Chains A and B, each alone.
Chain A
Amino acid sequence: MTETATETVATAAATIDVVIDRVETAADQVVSLVLRRLDGEPFQPWQPGAHIDVHLGEGLVRQYSLCSPLEELDHLRIGVLRVPDSRGGSRAVHELEAGSPLTISEPRNNFPMLDSRRYLFVAGGIGITPLIPMIEAAEKAGKDWQLVYGGRSRGTMAFADRLLERYGPDRIQIIAEDEAGRMDLDAILGLPRAHMLVYACGPSGLLGAIEERCMGWPPGALHTERFVASALGAGAASEPFEVELARTGTTVTVPTDKSILDAVEEVGVRVLSSCRGGLCGTCETQIISGEPEHRDAVLSEEDREAGEVMLVCVSRAAAGCPRLVLDL
């Protein structure tokens, strides 16, 4: 990832023309799109947790996690839940038809899977998608892993049957709220395990509850991906941005595949950091101007709203904010 950084900056806006090979109903209100390159070439290899931008016309860009097999690079698969009150992204996706052309970005990863001996995956609803390639990778590497997948009802839970069939009930726990109530997070997360990382994706209420419980786990054990809905538009990861280091007097471009922390350290500016995963708070940095998109699990809601500090190991500039000025 690092060696192509400069190139990525130059080509950050680069897009790929694809054709929609198939549109499948993955669950109630969830469609699954299979995409192939228009030129027939394979896609570049990508890592579990990666997403693509989907350009939906009229400037509408949305990010969707990839959930196709890692080794089958002839296609990419995304799963999209139709959200009734969304600003139109999911509705536009649900109107797409097989055979239509579409513009997407190269796969990018803001939710990388770190190496560990054990994994616990927790999915809420459509949050299952980035976890599917992680599960595949964990299984292939012979890791000890479990998935707990909760949803409103079985009919709404995309890929649940397929996962259950492939990996079996010892690995996969499906919890449909209409049958068994909500996921019992106290039971699921009540006993931290050594060398186990928790990867969770789902609605922010669920992730908040998971974060609360993981305060009893080793710092750095929990990794989450939030469904981002910045007031300024689509999630920020689709664009590189500039960070002005007020004290150092330099400006650094942060490419899409790098953290502010990495980019800043590369120009020789030191930032005290520890977990580098948005969990310990060591790299907290004052914001002088600009709007951040917080991706950490440390700052409170009040902190986020105040916008005075950010954790530069994971958080980024909000979409529509091309420049952050930081006290570095």
Chain B
Amino acid sequence: MTAMTHEPAVLADDPFDTANILDPYPFLARLRDAGPVSYLESTGSYAVAGYQEVYEVLTDFETYISSGGLGPRDIRKDSGWRPPSILESDPPIHTVMRRALTGVINPGTVRALRGPFTPPAVELTEELARRDRFDAVTDLAEKYPLRVFPDAVGIPDEGREHLLPYGNMVFNAFGPENYIFQQAFAHGDEHAAAVMRNCERENLSDTGFGARIWDRVQEGLITGQQATLLVRALLSAGVDTTVFGIGNTLSVLARYPEAWARLRANPKMARFAVDEALRVESPFQKFHRTVAVDTELGGVKIPAGAKVLVFIGAANRDPRRWGDSADEFDLDRSASGHVAFGMGLHQCVGQPIARLEMEIVLQQLLERVATIEPDGEPVPILHNVLRGFESLPVRITAA
């Protein structure tokens, strides 16, 4: 602990109000200007906006715990709306679940998906390349992950329509119980029940990730209940985030025609473009951690029991980490170290799958589309913690 601490700047801004959600970056810049750690009156939580401080919160999982939930309420005191997920657990409960999941989803198992993941991307982009204009979100970003990911997990066709609404519930619950939350939960019971059914072993195909997770029950590593929760975690975290990842990447590239041309000349750079796009337009913008013991961060004392609100979107554009051009997309920048997938213990397990989906869909589009540009204003989605678009009209020329 350093000797010098100061009172945090107190901000009246509400990160969850409509204006700050629809255009988060001016607010995030104000937040960073107020200091790496400040206090938000509206939510009663500490805002962490500096890259270094966000990194510290993510990697010090003993001080900044997850079992209090990722939302504003401490679910240890006040149980949440569903049994806690792997994301809402700490070691040692977290440890076996993470082991089980990492054993199933890793570069080796994901590599095999390139084959089955490619034809749907070819089919979708071939069809879109025949048009002059399309909506990059509703015609592509929302379609592609649903074509490939549920098969990779091995869930039945029946009930897949509940995946996006369920993901919407899960992530919106990381914010306050506001109007957006209420909307997301309007048919909540129905979506949750349908998704939970698909997590049971008897409803999963023998070849998907779901069945491999249930194998770990046979091996005695995890319980059947934990297997259910892990399949649920895949289904709730694996769709929306990738939809937004694809949409956000295209929203950026539509504004950078030179980058598109360079990518067409060298499609192997697609993965760098995706990585840099995830940095500037991070799908998962913010979530909470709970402080386990009195601590100090960025010169601010934070008491045990407090909630910290971690601003991934601010860290990924922090000029102290990324330089003065932090707000700009730069194909030549090494985005390595961005925290769009989190960092450390709870770092996204599905990362290789998400990266594969984003790379494939972008490469297939690059092959068939010579130019892409915005065709009117994109419509940002009203979501408590995810950043993305409900509509992204683009105008293209075919290759």
Contacts and interface: CB of A to CB of B under 8 A. Distances in A.
Nearest to B61: A194
A298 B103 contact: no
A194 B92 contact: no
A300 B110 CA distance: 12
Interface residues of B, number: 30
Interface string B50-71: 0000000001111100000000
A274 B336 contact: yes
Given A192-B345, A298-B106, A309 B94 contact: no
Interface stretch (B267-275, B282-290, B303-311): B267-275
A191 B84 CA distance: 19
Nearest to B58: A218
Contact of A195 (B59, B91, B107, B111): B59
A168 interface: no
Interface stretch (A2-10, A18-26, A102-110, A209-217): A209-217
A300 B108 contact: yes
Q: Which of A195, A247, A300 has the most CB of B within 10 A?
A: A195
A219 interface: yes
B257 interface: no
Interface in B238-294: 268-269, 271-272, 275
A218 B107 contact: no
Contacts of A139: none
B103 A215 contact: yes
A192 B91 contact: yes
A272 interface: yes
Contacts of B268: 247
Contacts of A253: none
Contacts of A309: 111
B95 A218 contact: no
Interface size class of A (residues with CB under 8 A): 20 to 34
Contact of A215 (B60, B99, B108, B272): B99
B274 to A, nearest CB: 9
Interface in B87-125: 91-92, 94-99, 102-103, 106-108, 111
Q: Which of A213, A215, A247 has the most CB of B within 10 A?
A: A215
Given A192-B345, A218-B344, A281 B106 contact: yes
A191 B95 contact: yes
B99 A216 contact: yes
A216 B60 contact: no
A283 B1 CA distance: 36
A190 interface: yes
Contacts of A219: 344, 347
Nearest to A193: B62
A273 interface: yes
A284 B62 contact: no
B319 interface: no
A207 to B, nearest CB: 16
A60 B106 CA distance: 38
Contacts of A56: none
Contacts of B91: 191-192, 216
B299 interface: no
Interface string A206-238: 000000110111110000000000000000000
Interface string B24-63: 0000000000000000000000000000000000011111
A299 interface: yes
Contacts of A272: 271-272, 275, 336
A303 interface: yes
A270 interface: yes
A270 B272 contact: yes
Contacts of A191: 91-92, 95
Contacts of B208: none
Interface in A247-283: 247, 270, 272-274, 280-282
Contact of B336 (A215, A216, A273): A273
B106 A218 contact: no
Q: Which of B95, B98, B268, B269 has the most CB of A within 10 A?
A: B95
A219 B334 CA distance: 20
B107 A215 contact: no
A307 to B, nearest CB: 14
B108 A303 contact: yes
Interface in A152-196: 190-195
A216 B95 contact: yes
Interface string A296-317: 0011101100000100000000
A194 B62 contact: yes
A216 B102 contact: yes
A282 to B, nearest CB: 8
A219 B272 CA distance: 21
Q: Which of A191, A192, A216, A280 has the most CB of B within 10 A?
A: A216
Given A194-B63, A298-B108, 16 more contacts: A190-B95, A191-B95, A192-B61, A194-B60, A194-B344, A195-B60, A212-B103, A216-B96, A216-B102, A218-B345, A272-B272, A272-B336, A273-B336, A274-B336, A281-B107, A302-B108
Interface of A: 190-195, 212-213, 215-219, 247, 270, 272-274, 280-282, 284, 298-300, 302-303, 309
30 contacts: A190-B92, A190-B95, A191-B91, A193-B62, A194-B61, A194-B62, A194-B63, A194-B344, A195-B59, A195-B60, A213-B99, A215-B98, A215-B99, A216-B91, A216-B97, A216-B98, A216-B102, A217-B345, A218-B59, A218-B61, A218-B344, A219-B347, A247-B268, A270-B269, A272-B272, A274-B336, A281-B106, A281-B352, A284-B107, A300-B108
